Amino acid sequence: MTFPYKGYAGYYLDIDLEKGKVHKKEMEKEWARLYMGGTGVAARILWERTGPETDPLSPDNVVLVGTGPLTGVMFSPSGRMMFASKSPLTGVWAESHAGGFFGPEIKYAGFDFIIFNGRSPKPVYLLLQDGRAELKDAAHLWGRETDVTTDMIREENRDPSMETAVIGPAGENQVPYGCVIVDYYRAAGRTGLGAVLGSKNVKGIAASGALPLEAHDMDKYLEANEEEMAKLHDPLWTESIASLRKYGTTDLVAMINEIGRLPTKNHWTGFFDEADDIGPEIIANKYRVGQEACHGCAIGCKYIYRVKEGKFRGGPAGGPEYETLMAFGSNCLNSDVESIFYLGQRCDLLGMDTISCGKTIGFAMELWEKGIIDESDTGGIDLSWGNVESMSELVELIARKEGVGALLAKGTRKAAEEIGGEAWKYAVHVKGLEASGQDPRAHQSVGLTYATNVRGADHLRSLSSLEELNYPEVIINRFGEEKAEAIGQIMSPKYKGEVIKDIEDLYAVVDSAVICKYGTMWPPVFYFDTFANVIPPLTGMKEWADMNYVRDVGARISHLRRAYNHRLGITREDETLPRRLLKEPMPTGPAKGGLPDLDYMLDEYYELRGSDKETGYPKKSRLEKLDLGFVADDLEKRKMLARQ
């Protein structure tokens, strides 16, 4: 092997599904040096292999499975991996990440990346074992739910420790928000990557391996890792980490309701009277039976629940995260937490994104309330707020695309288009992706995050917790004393363009490493300097020791993903917010009256990105400075560059 950088497995798989051929290739040096791994490398590959003409559910689309240099080495938290493609739900950039043990296992099995091209003539799954890869028949797995699929794969390979990423019936049926389930109950939930795998007849991937990963200089790496762990153990974060260990993300239900940002009644408001019923204490005291951590993670936010009796009896299984509690709970005016455990688990087994699914059901409930749809549209199903029987029925119908489920499986944007009339007013999405559990009317910078996020209305590309949870020391360190006061005010739009650009670039690196948002977003411990500290001794790429080099990598990835979307037709017009979040002042709760000043923040953001304020297009000189000359050339031909 001539691939020189350590920390990587050194190989990737380029798979021709049409011919059933698996090509093992050596990793490209340039990918590691300029894009690190994960989302960065995915952007580089998807830019080349997909574009405006690619139909997301056709054989022309490509699915990437990615890890990073920190995946599977000692770094907390290092258990993550990612998928990327062109989304069947939104038609633009798609990526989604998952924790657990699958990411590290891909690398111990000998690979950093997998690229699925084309479409298999019959159902298959990809088996990775100690440097070998083969496509295996999956006819007997097709139609199975995700837990059974994993059990069967482990059994037929006689390996109980084999880790998997699989799709369920929803992905097979190409529900545009069908997802990928990793290790039973961890989801690469968003943007419909399960549907793309389903369209390719790929049921999943299984990995098992005992190939060692090396460090360029192990002693120095362990020293650097120790320094980073010391930051995590700073008394400043003790409380946050204790909360994550005890409650996991369920604590956010209480914390976020307190600031009036908990999406309630299809995002009508940000305050839920009955939040305590779906909140952290009742879950921790009554249902939580265990704690789990992803690979090598010192935070350990995953909890295991069990409902012992009643109609929603279930578990032990991974409990629903904040987003699921919001989507099937407050968002649908549902305060029956046992029903949320059930709905969340059904989505995991069917392989469906809980956010898009819950949000689409909430949208339908509002249309029902407004009289825009009635029993003749729903096949007799009563869609009153909080009707858990109806919600349970809808989840099954959506996964099978049957009855009203066929309509709701399209997501809020397309369903609203089809229903027509005023329905669009209640579709809360950006670029076609249903909004996650935040609200810019209670937290200004969320507006900019949602609007600019390359995958749509979602927090994970650039959410800032700095002003949300008030970390003045971190704000001063990163942005200076002068701006600190304005940045610290959650409802001030001032300097939020700078904050969100900075965090978008940071998360681009985080998502390439590939590590978790816990430890980066909340608590905000790891920053660009973390990568400057650990990447050189791990990989041997010396230039990474310069924090400005790391920042440039973040900016390069951000620009490349943005350019990918521009090429698909995305401009400032699309980088906006749904009417409800932009124009209807928050009606109740602690954030009452709040509205985001999106234009103010967008102007600053484009200014700092060096982009045209009218279109959002980038400057040629900026792209060239970031080694993205090939992007500039392409966009120039399409007249998609900013005036210099």
Partner 1 sequence: MNRFIVVDTSLCTGCRNCELACSIRNTGTFNPRQSRIQVLKNEAKNLILPVVCLQCEEPLCEEACPSGAIRVNEAGVLTVKEEICIGCQNCVTACVYGGIEIDPVTKKAIKCDLCGGNPACVDACDYGAISVVERDEEGLQTRLVGVKGAARQMGVEMEDA
**Contacts (CB under 8 A) with partner 1, residues 288-317:** 289-298, 300, 304, 306, 315-317
Minimum CB–partner distance for residue 292 and partner 1 (Å): 5
Please tell me the count of residues contacting partner 1 according to CB under 8 A. 40
Minimum CB–partner distance for residue 100 and partner 1 (Å): 10
Minimum CB–partner distance for residue 295 and partner 1 (Å): 6
Convert 268-281 to b/e letters by CB count within 10 Å (16 or more is b).
bbbbbebbebbbbe
Minimum CB–partner distance for residue 327 and partner 1 (Å): 23
Minimum CB–partner distance for residue 290 and partner 1 (Å): 5
Q: Is 159 in the site for partner 1 (CB under 8 A)?
A: no
Instruction: Give the ranges where 14-88 is alpha helix by DSSP (H).
Output: 29-30, 38-49
* The three-state (H, E, C) secondary structure of 106-164, written as one string: HHHCCCCEEEEECCCCCCEEEEEECCEEEEEECCCCCCCCHHHHHHHHHHHCCCCCCEE
Minimum CB–partner distance for residue 293 and partner 1 (Å): 4
- Tell whether the torsion through CA atoms of 401, 403, 406 and 409 is positive or negative: negative
Near partner 1 by CB under 8 A: residue from 8, 185, 322, 426 = 185
Residue placing its CB nearer to partner 1 in the complex, 36 or 442:
36
Pairing of strands 124-129, 132-137: antiparallel
Q: Is 284 in the site for partner 1 (CB under 8 A)?
A: no
Minimum CB–partner distance for residue 459 and partner 1 (Å): 25
Minimum CB–partner distance for residue 214 and partner 1 (Å): 5
What's the gap between Cα 528 and its chain centre? 20
Stretch that binds partner 1, among 178-186, 514-522, 595-603, 626-634 (CB under 8 A): 178-186
Distances (CA, A) of 541 to 33, 34, 460, 538: 7, 10, 27, 8
Give the DSSP H/E element, type plus range, for residue 356.
helix 354-369
Q: CA 187 to CA 81: how far, in whole Å? A: 11
Residue placing its CB nearer to partner 1 in the complex, 244 or 275:
244
DSSP assigned state of 525: -
Stretch that binds partner 1, among 71-79, 246-254, 267-275, 515-523 (CB under 8 A): 71-79
Show the tokens assigned to 146.
């995700």
Near partner 1 by CB under 8 A: residue from 151, 369, 584, 599 = 151
Stretch that binds partner 1, among 194-202, 283-291, 473-481, 615-623 (CB under 8 A): 283-291
Q: Is 212 in the site for partner 1 (CB under 8 A)?
A: yes
Distances (CA, A) of 291 to 283, 284, 315: 13, 10, 14
Helix axes 528-539, 547-567, angle to 10 degrees: 100
DSSP assigned state of 75: -
What's the gap between Cα 55 and its chain centre? 22
**Contacts (CB under 8 A) with partner 1, residues 72-91:** 72-74, 76, 79
Pairing of strands 62-66, 113-117: antiparallel
Show the tokens assigned to 21.
């051929």
Three-class SS state of 623: helix
Q: Is 630 in the site for partner 1 (CB under 8 A)?
A: no
Q: Is 209 in the site for partner 1 (CB under 8 A)?
A: yes
Near partner 1 by CB under 8 A: residue from 5, 12, 83, 108 = 108
Contact call for residues 398 and 409 (beta carbons, < 8 A): yes
Minimum CB–partner distance for residue 185 and partner 1 (Å): 7
Near partner 1 by CB under 8 A: residue from 101, 125, 564, 606 = 101
Q: CA 466 to CA 474: how far, in whole Å? A: 7
Q: Is 286 in the site for partner 1 (CB under 8 A)?
A: no
DSSP assigned state of 211: P
Residue placing its CB nearer to partner 1 in the complex, 245 or 613:
245
Minimum CB–partner distance for residue 317 and partner 1 (Å): 8
User: Within 13 Å and on the Cβ side, how many CA atoms surround 318?
Assistant: 26
Could you please report the per-residue DSSP string of 273-331?
TTGGGGSHHHIIIIIEEEEE--TT-SS--EEEEEE-SSTT-EEEEEPP-HHHHHHHTGG
Residue placing its CB nearer to partner 1 in the complex, 36 or 423:
36
Near partner 1 by CB under 8 A: residue from 95, 112, 172, 183 = 183
Q: Is 211 in the site for partner 1 (CB under 8 A)?
A: yes
**Contacts (CB under 8 A) with partner 1, residues 214-253:** 214-215, 218, 222
**Contacts (CB under 8 A) with partner 1, residues 314-343:** 315-317
Residue placing its CB nearer to partner 1 in the complex, 100 or 329:
100
Contact call for residues 130 and 496 (beta carbons, < 8 A): no
Three-class SS state of 95: strand
Residue placing its CB nearer to partner 1 in the complex, 148 or 547:
148
Q: Is 347 in the site for partner 1 (CB under 8 A)?
A: no
Stretch that binds partner 1, among 165-173, 193-201, 204-212, 356-364 (CB under 8 A): 204-212
Residue placing its CB nearer to partner 1 in the complex, 182 or 433:
182
Q: Which residues bind partner 1 (CB under 8 A)?
A: 72-74, 76, 79, 101, 104, 108, 147, 151, 160-161, 183-185, 209-215, 218, 222, 289-298, 300, 304, 306, 315-317
